[in-house]
Structure 1
Amino acid sequence: MFSRTVLSPCNRPPKEFSETTSRPIKPSRPIVNAAVILNRSPIITRTPTPFERAYYAYQSRIHRALHNPFPYEFYFKQGSPLEARFNIEERRRERKAFGAPFGMDTAEQSESATLAEASLRDEDEETMPRVHEADTKQDLKSLDRRGQRNLYLMLLKNESGKDVWRFPQGGVEKGELLHQAANRDLEAECGSHMDTWIVSRNPIGVYHPSSVAEPSSKAVVFFYKAHIMAGQARPDPKRVLDFAWLTKGGDI
């Protein structure tokens, strides 16, 4: 009979360590970037639609029809040039509110009325055009173009051998806050000839780009919104190939 020897866990020989045993891999730290969406707000009011123009004209006619008449006899001497000038301006306002048939000039005009109308023609102000010269020339670097729209600064850079349009952005240094890095990168890429204002210290969006050169790398871009108050972008030619102020969905 053979006797079986039972070894307790304490008496068992130590298990040899295998070199092929997998060790836990530390996760790679993400590459953090801060980008700035620099905006130039509209500088003129939006052109009203036909419905809005009709509504405003209707409200003007109602207001004109219901307003109390101005007691010009109390303020102006009868037959004076000031009275004639007021009557001419009143007829112009009536024609503008109710149409051409209203406020028609009579065939007989006094000498004072003729002089008053001539002085009004000299004082007529010309309305500035709503289309700037930069719009006709298609100058994408001008801040005067597209006055009714928001403009956003885009930079043309060479990344991995390809020309890419993107917002101003850069890396975050150790111990640096995100909004500080965004402001520093904006000045480094676009120059210090702009008066800008970052709206908040909190980012408005986060983007995880996929890198073709390093698909395993983890990168994250935090976007900050800013406004340009004065000045113009002057990018560093060593870092930026070109720049443009573009509208959303209109120029790209």
Structure 2
Amino acid sequence: SSSIPPPLRASLILSRHPLIRRTPSTLELTYHAHSSALRRAISNPVPENVYFSKGSLAHRRFQKAEYEREKEAFGAAIAGTPPAVGDIPPERPLEILERDHWAKLDAERGERSLERHPDQEIFCLIKEKESKKWEFPTRTLKENDSLHTAAEQITGVGGILDGQTMDTWLVTKKPVGLTQKDGQRTFYLRSHILGGEPKLSSSGPWSDLAWLNLSELEERLKAQGDEPLWDGVKAIFGVPKIPTSELGFDEASLEV
């Protein structure tokens, strides 16, 4: 006799893109400075008479800024004599915020905050009340359901993440990964949050929600005994299935 296989499940990997550019490494900063100096050395001078009225405030500010750039790139000896620009009224100072400014303002929300790790991509996990385990938002397919419609219903109005309070974009209708456990097949689809934020219903089977970066995601899944799950999905995040140590080098050697 043939047994009926367990129904398929659609699991949504919902992420928030980085809000700011990550801090460049020393090598990247050095390379950028060298490239800028090289580009400046071989480029033609700016035709100032085309873009500025001679002696205007904008012209004098440009001359002063251009001299400072030459001095920084090639040194004072090559930059030559500073231009006679006279007194230049100061410009309105720019307000410089710390990289984690918004994260600090929203720190009281902890892992529920969408402002966490502004220079990294963060991913949504939800916690099931009964098992106390964290998992990606998942929905069991019903009859005539397709994978992408099931995934969209996760973030739809009345879904697990209540789409009434947020805007999301399903990257593709095709799954990007598959895991199997005891015959249960779970397909993974990628989605990005564009605005708003998800909210869990108090009457639903989930008790908490967290936004985690990649290292926190790995640690959270492994800590609750879901290492096979992590091994099954890590390739989706660009993590090699074969540890770099087995390839003859460590991960530190790959860092820029």
TM-score, normalization by structure 1: 0.72
2:161 is aligned with 1:190? yes
| 2:94 counterpart residue number | 125
Q: Deviations over 1:139-162 (max 9, x none)?
A: 322222212211111001123xx3
Instruction: Give % identity.
Output: 29
Distance in 1 between the 2:47 and 2:147 partners? 65
Residue identity matched to 2:197: Q
Distance 2:143 2:195 in 1: 31
Task: Map 1:1-252 onto structure 2 (within 5 A).
Answer: 25-72=1-48, 76-77=53-54, 81-99=57-75, 113-114=86-87, 116=88, 119=89, 121-134=90-103, 137=107, 139-159=110-130, 162-187=131-156, 188-192=159-163, 193-210=165-182, 218-239=183-204, 240-250=206-216, 252=220
Q: CA deviation at 1:86?
A: 3.2
Bigger Rg over Cα: 1
**Equivalent position SS for 1:241:** strand
In structure 2, list runs of 5 or more residues that go unmatched: 221-256
Task: Give the Cα–Cα distance (whole angstroms) in 2 for the partners of residues 52 and 131 of structure 1.
Answer: 21
1:92 shift after superposition: 2.2
In the comparison of the two structures, how many residue pairs are matched?
Answer: 211
Judged with a 3 Å threshold, the aligned counterparts in structure 2 of structure 1 residues 206 and 71 are, in CA distance, closer, same or farther, namely closer
Alpha-carbon deviation of 1:198? 1.5
- Cα deviation digits, residues 195-229 of structure 1 (max 9, x gap): 1122222211222234xxxxxxx322111111111
The separation in 2 between residues aligned to 1:171 and 1:46, in whole angstroms, is 37
**What is the rounded CA distance, in whole Å, between the counterparts of 2:214 and 2:64 in structure 1?**
47
RMSD: 2.8
Q: Is the CA contact 1:36–1:226 (under 8 Å) kept in the aligned structure 2?
A: yes
Deviations 1:61-101 (A, max 9, x none): 12222332345467544x66555333322222223333577
Question: Aligned equivalents of 2:70 and 2:53: distance in 1?
Answer: 20
Task: Return the TM-score normalized by structure 2.
Answer: 0.71
Q: Distance between the aligned counterparts of 1:144 and 1:91, measured in 2? A: 39
CA contact (8 A) 1:81 1:113 kept: no
Q: Which moved more, 1:236-245 or 1:79-88?
A: 79-88
Does the CA-based 8 Å contact 1:155-1:166 persist in structure 2? yes
Name the structure with the higher helix share.
2
Give the distance between the partners of 2:190 and 2:17, measured in 1 at CA: 12
Distance in 1 (CA, whole Å) between partners of 2:132 and 2:188 is 21
Instruction: Tell me if the contact between 2:137 and 2:160 (Cα under 8 Å) persists in the aligned partners.
Output: yes
| Structure 1 unaligned regions, length at least 5 | 1-24, 211-217
Q: Structure 2 vs 1, CA of residues 151 and 81 (structure 1 numbering), >3 Å: closer, same or farther?
A: closer
